[in-house]
Every structure is written in C-alpha cells, then in structure tokens.
Structure 1
Amino acid sequence: MAFEPPPRLVNALGEVRDDGASAWLDRVGTLLDEAAARRDVTVQRVHVPGGRSSLVAHVRRADGSPAILKLAPERFRPEAERAALTHWDGFGSVRLLDPGVNDGALLLERLHPEVSVRTLPEAKALLEAAGTLRRLWADPPEGRNCETVPERTGRQAVAMRATVESFPDVAPLIDAAIGTRDELVSSPPELRLLHGTFRQSKVLSGERLPWLAVGPDPVVGETAFDLARLVRDRVEDLIGSPSGPAITRRRVKKLAESLEVDQDRLRGWTLFRAVESGARALRVGRHQDGENLLEFAGWL
C-alpha cells in the first residue's frame, strides 16, 4: 500500500531520536502490507491524524467484518501491549483478534476513534474514564512481558536529572518529583497490571460495550500510578482557568475516593508524572507544553 505516514506520527517519532524508529518509519508501508497479508485482511485506509507512537489502519477481515490493524516500532513495546490485551481479554479494553501472532502488529476490534470519553462534559468524562480504568486493574499475568513502575520511573528519573543541564530553573521541581518517587516506590500498597498511559482520549466508544480502553503501555505497579495521568486531563483548560489549582485538588480528592486510592499517593504520582512529562516536552522543544505541565505540577 503506497501512502504517506500521518504527519503527527512522523513528527512524534522525530522527537524520540531513535534510529530504529526512523528505520521502521521508512518501511512502515511495506510492514503494513505484510502484516495485512499475514492476517488475511484488506487495508481500507490509514487513520488520520492517528497516534504519536503507532500507525492505525482500518481493515476488513476475510468474512467482511471491520477491524483495526495497528503497527508500532519496537521501542513502544507492541508485544507488551499484546500481552496485556490478551490478559484482559476484552474486559474493559479493546479486544485482540489475532492471539499468538508476534510480529509487532496487532489486529483489534474496531471501535469509534472519533468518539472518545473526552467528547463528554468534563464531570461525566472523568466518571466514565475512571470506571473503565478500574476494570483494567487485574493481577499481573504469569511471566509478564512488561516493566514495573520502579523500572520505568527509574529510567525516567535519569532523563529528568539530565534536563537540569539545559533548564536549570526546573531543578527544584525535578528534585521534589524524584524525591517523591523514591518514597513511593519503597512501599507500594499493591501490584496490579496497569494501563500505563491512561487518559480520557484512550477510552473510545464501542459496539460491545459503551466505552473501552485502547493503547496501553502496560506496567506492573500500584493503582495510584495509573490514575495519576487522569488527574491532569485537559491541562490546557486547567491552566487557563483562575480556579485551576482548586479544580486540581478536587480532582485528586474525588478520584482517590471514588477508586479507593490513597489520596497522598495519588498526589505524589501526579506530581512525578507531570514533572516527567513537562521535562520531556522541554527536551524535545515543545516549550509551551512543558511550561503548562510544570505550572500544573507546582499546584501539587
């Protein structure tokens, strides 16, 4: 299939400065054709604008039923996603349709990518997203194929410290975030299989169930880590509101109570993940995103 990869994907992979990802992008058209032939599906179109870490194509299976074929570079751990989706087996998540295939591609049930929880009013969106997330928190599978929270955040902490060389003003926030992380990983209250990158836009409308989660970057750890990313959803709106700090505090309290998560641990992981994302945005030149995230982190 001859096509140009979506600009959003091209730009995002350019930020990661990874030779493997660049080589994957050069071959992605061929990889898509090969993955489709292996599964006996017909590619209809590539979804645009698509994601920042994968190519998503609308396909038809041999029996005419619709599906999604998703491809991602190795650095984004597509086989870890496969393992998590296999473990969830459609309970709260999109269903995997090609179990047993391991080629960096995933055949998934087709949802409605244009209708995410984010299209709902904010209060309703948070409620539906939180309910979906709760269903994903399962005991980790045997022989799990994903990182732990200490492993992932340890790597991130190293990169955060390196950010200080170019952006010394962020040193106090980075020190606070890493110190909080060190305390949190020393005594996790439970170990669950987590989505890893959960937010409102990762919950799509489906036929089988009203809302299903997509796009996990699974990790094993405590549930507060998974919930933390949801606290800062629609961060641009929070930054633009004079009530942003108060709204954020209410979100932490409401989400912690509704999902029975320790409020202080949720606040701590929200701080770490916001600072980590903000520092990463600064490093790749997305300065406005970085400044918004660090301002948000300062409210915590």
Structure 2
Amino acid sequence: MTAEGQQQRKLVEVPDALRGFGRWQHQGEAGSRWLAALPDTVVEWCDRWNLKVDGRPMHGYNSLVVPVSRGSEPLALKVTWPDRHMEEQVLALRLWDGHGAVRLVDADTAAGVMLMRRLDHTRSLRDVPLEEAVPVIGTVLRRLAVEPPHGLRTTGAIAAQHRRELAAQWEDLGRPMPRRTLDRGLELAGELSRDDYSVLVNNDLHYEQVLRTWDEDWAVVDPLIVSGVLEFQVAPLLWSRFDELGSSRVEWCIDALADAADLDRDRARRWALLRAVEYWLWGLKASLTEDPVRCRHITEALMCPRGVPVAVSIRWARGPRRAEEAGDTDP
C-alpha cells in the first residue's frame, strides 16, 4: 500500500454500530472477513477510481458509505455485501439515471461497491412536516415508475403468497387480530394477486431514504425493487410516520399520495390494508413492539367505508366481542 493509501486508510473508521449489527453477521466467516477488510476495500477502490476520502464514514444495516471526492466533485463510495439486492439496486439506479434517485456514477456488483453523487445526508423527508413531505414523496414515487426489467418479483406474486400464508401465521401467533380482519386481508390478497399493470416499484421507499440534493431537489437512496403496481408502496408511508399521522388522517394521507402519484385510490386503500395486516403478523413474529400496534390502528381505520368516523370504524373493525371487552358498548 502506498503512503497515500495508508493515509486514506486512517480516515476510514468502521462505525461501532456496523461492527455490532448488520447483514454481514448472517454470512458466517465470510461476513467477518468482509467487515475486517472494509478499510482496505475503500482504499483499493479509491485508488482505482482516483478518489480521496474527505469525510467521516457513515453506515446503514447493510453497508459502509464514505464521503469521497474526485477533483471538485463530491461523491459517495458505498461498500455493501454483494448479493442479489445489491445487483438489483445498481440495475434500478441505472434505469432511473438520476431522475428521482441518487445518480450512480460507477459500480462493480461482484465487489459490492458503488460510486454515487453525494447527497445532503443531514436533510431527509423525515424532517419535513407531513403536509409537505407526503406530496413530495408521492411525486418521487411516480417519477420512479419506469418500465421494469424482466425477472423481478411482482406485487401480484407477493399478494398471492400472502393469500397462502396469512391464515397459518395468524393461527401460529395465537390469533392476535379479529377474524374479520384476517378474512378481509385474505380476500384482498386474492383480488390484488391479479393486478393488471406493471411498473418499477421501490419496495423500500420511506421518508428517511429520500434525501435533499445540492440543487434543492429530492432523491431516493438504497432502493429495493419489485415489478407491479405503485399502490403497493402506500402502506409503509403510513406506518413509518404513523405516530404523527394518527388514525384520523390515514385517509388524508392516502388521498394526498394518490393525488401526487396519480394512484387509484381504491387500489391504494386495499393494498394499504393488506400490507398492514401482513406486517402486523410479521412484526409480532419478529418480536417488534411498536409497528404491530401501528398496523392495528391502520387496519381499524381502513376497515369501514370512507366517511365513517374513526371511533365508529374502530368499533366495527374490532367486532362486538372486542368492543365489549374494551368497555365500549355505545350503539
């Protein structure tokens, strides 16, 4: 390693949080070697692509992101575990070509490295009030809806899988939701497995992963992709900021997303309900404590026809027995 490389290596400190927890842990000895080699990997690719480290490394669950520059151009070097998700992410970023997503400058999928335009990581839609953030993220959702490549998992196939598995999951978890909620989820899964159009959908779109660009636009990072209907992605935009949204504004959020992304409102509501039912069960199985409660509130808000007050909707969704147990016996 050259003297310059040694100097660069000193600047690449792997955060303790990534050392302690990440996807690499599921890869056995290979994952441990990948983690230990991260500083050398960064130096190697800085040398190949003529980059200089110029900031403190950041991380996610799956990767290390190092601020770098080439001349006066601010960039970000991302090193991630090389797998199918990484390959699909590179594919998506190339298809979007900087329109609604971070611009990919270069990549080597075998090595798990990507070079991207740098965004302002201190400014995300998570910090923007919902009244402004929801229309913006809806616009981003629509901008990303390009023709999908062949071979991706489809939203219809995901719905069909839910149709096969939800009832058994419900039983295994001790029937944690009303039967009528499960039945509605199963009904919707059957209907939505037959969705009839297909675009590229970012399956991991949420407010924290939409960052400000240096020209005051917004761009997605770290996409996971499927092929199918845009309405599939409404539900995470409900539960990821549900504590601010509340049950009374679930319908408002769906309407605002539908307006901004040109969605079918009824399909958006149905997908939101199905995905909330599925994530409620998945979250309980994964021992999550907060998201299953959020999903319960979302399903209750969506289980009655539009226009019914939320409190009445919740009583209807829980059913007579659940309402009596809660001490709520009003007609």
TM over 0.5: yes
Match of 1:113 among 100, 115, 121: 121
Match of 1:45 among 30, 45, 56: 56
Distance in 1, matches of 2:79 and 2:212, equals 21
Change (3 A) 1:8 1:275: farther
1:162-192: CA deviation from partner (whole Å, max 9, x where unpaired): 533134223734443243122112132x210
Q: In structure 1, the residue corresponding to 2:56 is in which secondary structure? A: strand
Residue 271 (structure 1) aligns with:
273
CA RMSD, aligned part only?
Answer: 3.0
Change (3 A) 1:134 1:169: same
Q: In structure 1, the residue corresponding to 2:133 is in which secondary structure? A: helix
Amino acid at match of 1:70: K
Distance in 2, matches of 1:28 and 1:3, equals 11
Amino acid at match of 2:137: A
How much does 1:299 deviate? 1.6
User: Matched residues, percent identical?
Assistant: 24
- Residues 89 and 222, structure 2, Cα contact 8 Å, conserved in 1: yes
Match of 2:152 among 146, 151, 163: 146
Change (3 A) 1:258 1:67: closer
Distance in 2, matches of 1:184 and 1:255, equals 19
Residue 74 (structure 2) aligns with:
66
How much does 1:10 deviate? 4.4
Residue 230 (structure 2) aligns with:
223
Residue 24 (structure 1) aligns with:
31
Residue 90 (structure 1) aligns with:
98
How much does 1:115 deviate? 0.4
**What is the number of equivalent residue pairs in this alignment?**
286
Distance in 1, matches of 2:184 and 2:108, equals 43
- Residues 193 and 218, structure 1, Cα contact 8 Å, conserved in 2: yes
Residue 177 (structure 2) aligns with:
170
Question: TM-score normalised to the size of structure 1?
Answer: 0.82
Amino acid at match of 1:281: G
- Residues 204 and 211, structure 1, Cα contact 8 Å, conserved in 2: yes
Distance in 1, matches of 2:224 and 2:29, equals 20
Change (3 A) 1:179 1:95: same
Max radius of gyration: which structure? 2
Q: In structure 1, the residue corresponding to 2:66 is in which secondary structure? A: strand
Distance in 1, matches of 2:14 and 2:108, equals 30
Residue 241 (structure 1) aligns with:
none
